[in-house]
Chains A and B, each alone.
Chain A
Amino acid sequence: MRVHIQMAILLLASIMPGSGAAVAHDANAHHGAPAACQTTALACASVITAAFGPDGKLWVTWIAGGRVSVASSADLGKTFADPVTLPKTDLPLDEGPDARPKIAIGQAGRVIVTYASRDEKYNGHAFIVRSGDGGKTFSTPQPITSDSPSQRFETAALDQDGRAFVTWIDKRNGAKAKKDGKPYAGAALAFAWDDRPGGTLQAATIARDNSCECCRIGVAFAGPGRPVVLFRNIFDGGIRDHAVITFADSKTPGPLYRVSDDDAKIDACPHQGPSLAIGPDGVYHATWFALGRKLKGLYYAHSNDDGKTFSEPMRLGDPNAQTSRPYVLATHGVVYLAYKSFDGAMTTIDLITSHDSGKTWSAPRSIAMTHDASDHPLLIASPAGAYLSWLTLQDGYRLIPLEPQS
């Protein structure tokens, strides 16, 4: 039938007089968040990231109306103080499937927010803003680095001493290789410490070349000044499996260890990065989405030797239920692991728990559900408990306790 239409068009075209310029338009294409919701309000958010402060106050940052906003809640998300909307970026915000603004809360009213915008070539431009007065005012946004064509999946995390570590996926070495006519797979894992609140970060250091370019990064700390980073690496032969790097000290990324042999020989963007937690006992808990020839789906493994070796990967969820977006949290003597499942009509957040540092796990328990679009599930700890932080189109923002409330 298509051939007939095309022939008819060609016939008609041959008899029609030539005309002026016409521009093909995507007039029919429609997309994204509901058109009615265009303000910067929390209710219009497309993604929300949350964290608790040491005083138990909940902090959230979100993207809505093309801006990043920040607000706090003293009653576990029931009500929020007046939000602060950060300055508008010159370029549109990065709203890729695994991108989101991030927030870290320190002592004495310290708040750090990072986020990225993207240019017409989809290069990321990441920024950091800080507050020293409990989020009343924020410093002028600073680029996280000055000499890179693209930074994405930026994450700021505070170590046990309150020092801020910032890491991201950086394309400077890839761009240089391209200029020199050399091959370069993926991007690179970069980091810098934020030792001058309000000013620029330390100069960036590339911790590792050839990381996957399209996934979030997992960050935790083995000790003060010793970040641990879990990310999708590109191993020899283009294998995109997960790897962990533990810093020997704040300046020195340690050796890279493979978390799992998924054998992901694939030049595809999974848009699903890993999650990492380290308990007070020093055990590493890693969870990730595998797209390999050996492993496919969601997996969990733990390491008792600072990330050198990991346990046999444990499969999560029902392979036919589109399980995705796993997230792990180790707090209050429990390891919590949540992930999304979809059965064709309903999205469910399932939770499993371990009370022996990841050796054995409970059966999955559904803790939240929705029948429409939803953000990734995130797990956060307050001084008193553990929570699921989840945004759904139907119910808005929800903070759900992981332990049944008495």
Chain B
Amino acid sequence: MRLASILLALFIAAMPIAGSAASPEAAPEAAPQTARPFEADSLKQILDAQKGRPVIVHFWGLTCSNCMAELKDWGAFTRAHPDAMMVLVNWDQRGARPAEISPTLQKAGLGSVSSFVLGNGFEEKLRFAVGQDWMGELPYTRLIAGDGSATAFSGPADFEQLGSWLAKQSQ
């Protein structure tokens, strides 16, 4: 699966980038990510792979209008902080449309951000593994510092505050 996504990324990266010159804002997306299933141990794996670097995990939904309204702002934030480790997790439940995740993220300028989709089955258990006090509201964002300590907020992000948090992490 990992190999497949790398191959797909290679394939797309090899495509001629058409029209990008016409829109200076649309920086070429390096590696469009396909959404991988988010399981109970996914967050731990992400953090283990980061080896003490801070991580921003943003939970969003196509069915959540407040999420969709700020998605492009997350795109701008990732462009402004190219070194920040971001993870996006789509948390749409029943009636979800996983095929729309990648195109939506691409459009918001988030095509190269590591992307997950709520895994099969027991949503409560998967959510509990993320945060015991998370009641499933969206958007929801967890900020995990290098030492593993986590803070979280529900609702749209304050990107200025988020930038300050990131800056503090690298001090």
List B76-125 residues whose CB lies under 8 Å from chain A.
Answer: 83, 85, 93-96, 98-99, 101-103, 106, 111-112, 114, 117-125
Interface size class, chain A: 35 or more
* A 177-205 to B, binary, CB cutoff 8 A, 1 in contact else 0: 00000000000000000000000000000
* A92 CB-CB contact with B under 8 Å: yes
* A237 CB-CB contact with B under 8 Å: no
A322: shortest Cβ distance to chain B, in Å? Answer: 6
A12 near B10: Cβ-Cβ < 8 Å? yes
> Residue on B with the closest CB to A289?
B135
Interface size class, chain B: 35 or more
A267 near B138: Cβ-Cβ < 8 Å? no
* A25 CB-CB contact with B under 8 Å: yes
* B72 CB-CB contact with A under 8 Å: no
* B27 CB-CB contact with A under 8 Å: no
* B142 CB-CB contact with A under 8 Å: no
Main secondary structure of the interface of A (DSSP, over half): loop
A345 near B125: Cβ-Cβ < 8 Å? yes
User: In the assembly, what is the distance between CA of A27 and CA of B124, in Å?
Assistant: 24
* B132 CB-CB contact with A under 8 Å: yes
* A213 CB-CB contact with B under 8 Å: yes
**Contact A320/B36 with A2-B114, A25-B99, A95-B94 known, Cβ cut-off 8 Å:** no
* A272 CB-CB contact with B under 8 Å: yes
* A260 CB-CB contact with B under 8 Å: no
B132 near A322: Cβ-Cβ < 8 Å? yes
Which of A1, A3, A10, A27 is the one whose CB lies under 8 Å from B13? A10
User: In the assembly, what is the distance between CA of A12 and CA of B9, in Å?
Assistant: 11
* B16 CB-CB contact with A under 8 Å: yes
User: In the assembly, what is the distance between CA of A378 and CA of B114, in Å?
Assistant: 38
User: In the assembly, what is the distance between CA of A113 and CA of B166, in Å?
Assistant: 51
List A3-28 residues whose CB lies under 8 Å from chain B.
Answer: 3, 5-6, 9-10, 12-13, 16-19, 21-22, 24-28
List A264-296 residues whose CB lies under 8 Å from chain B.
Answer: 266-272, 289, 291
B44: shortest Cβ distance to chain A, in Å? Answer: 14
B95 near A92: Cβ-Cβ < 8 Å? yes
9 closest residue pairs by CB, A with B: A29-B98, A95-B95, A95-B94, A13-B13, A16-B14, A268-B155, A266-B155, A18-B16, A26-B98
The residues of A with any CB-CB pair to B shorter than 8 Å are 1-3, 5-6, 9-10, 12-13, 16-19, 21-22, 24-33, 46-47, 92-97, 118, 122, 213-214, 266-272, 289, 291, 319-320, 322, 324, 342, 344-345, 347, 372-373, 393
